Amino acid sequence: MTNPPLDAFGPLYTSAQIAARVRELGAQISRDFAGEQLIVVGVLKGAALFMSDLIRAIDVPLRCDFLRVSSYEGGLKSTGVVRFEFDITQTIEDQNVILVEDIVDTGLTANFLYENLKLRRPKSLRFCTLLHKSANTKINFDLDYIGFTIPNRFVIGYGLDLDGLYRNLPDIRALPED
Ligand code: PRP
């Protein structure tokens, strides 16, 4: 199957709307963790842009880390199998941890990561996602911070890709509903 061209995608969120929501999420996290320290863990590659903006909107002391898992193998649909490609580089035991994702779709990746990091005994573990495709999600825990809840549409831009392309778009665009 050939991938849809860029002009098949319509606007979903402008860069200004994204920036405003990211500031709100950062303020909320700052309030929730006032007086504490954080380890913020970005899930590469999709969360890279969101993570870099989000941490600048948080004003409690924090350390960054990154990990990478994969389940989409470049296509439009999840393969159903989550694979660790690389892990964080610090211990999270007794630390406040926030996992940062660009999107929760089926919830497969989020469930896998939540269970995996929970086993490392963090002081707290919260989950922050810019986008939540809620109709699709089967998730075993609460999503603590959600930027936007979106319909079941394939999205690109602001870190989100189609076969590796379009992550650099400053806005978020979507295909028409399936
Ligand atoms: C995307 C996204 C999430 C996951 C969400 O990652 O960043 O990690 O899919 O889908 P799910 O809820 O159905 O598990 P992807 O595997 O496309 O890698 P990428 O971040 O490098 O684009």
Looking up tokens 């978020």 gives 172
Among 103, 127, 133, 168, which is best to mutate for testing ligand 1, by the most ligand atoms less than 8 A from CB?
A: 103
**Average confidence score pLDDT of the chain:** 94
Measured in angstroms, how far is the CA atom of residue 133 from the centroid of ligand 1?
12
CA of 45 to the centre of ligand 1 (A): 8
Question: What residues are annotated to the active site?
Answer: 105
pLDDT in tens, 30-46: 999 999 999 999 999 99
CA 130–ligand 1 middle distance (angstroms) = 12
Q: Does the structure show a pLDDT above 80 at 72?
A: no
For range 78-96, the mean pLDDT: 91
Give me the pLDDT at residue 1, please.
72
Predicted structure pTM score? 0.94
CB 42 less than 6 A from any atom of ligand 1: no
Please give the number of the atom of ligand 1 that sits closest to the Cα of 167.
Answer: 22
Looking at residue 146, the DSSP 8-state letter turns out to be E
- Cα of 14 vs centre of ligand 1, distance in Å, is 21
Query: Measuring CA to CA, which residue among 162, 158, 90 is closest to residue 129?
Result: 158
Q: How far apart are CA 33 and CA 147, in angstroms?
A: 18
Asked whether residue 74 carries a pLDDT value surpassing 80, the answer given is: no
pLDDT at 177 over 90: no
Residue 137 has pLDDT above 90, yes or no: no
- Residue whose Cα lies nearest atom 8 of ligand 1: it is 109
Q: 81: which residues sit within 8 A by CB, 6+ positions away? A: 71
Contacts made by residues 139-143, CB under 8 angstroms, sequence distance 24+? 139/104, 139/107, 139/110, 139/111, 140/107, 140/111, 140/114, 140/115, 141/111, 141/114, 143/104, 143/110
Determine the 3-state secondary structure of 64 from DSSP.
Answer: strand
pLDDT of the residue at 75: 61
Residue among 41, 66, 109, 158 to mutate when testing ligand 1 (max atoms within 8 A of CB): 109
Q: What percent of the chain has pLDDT over 90?
A: 88
Confidence of residue 80 (pLDDT cuts 50, 70, 90): confident
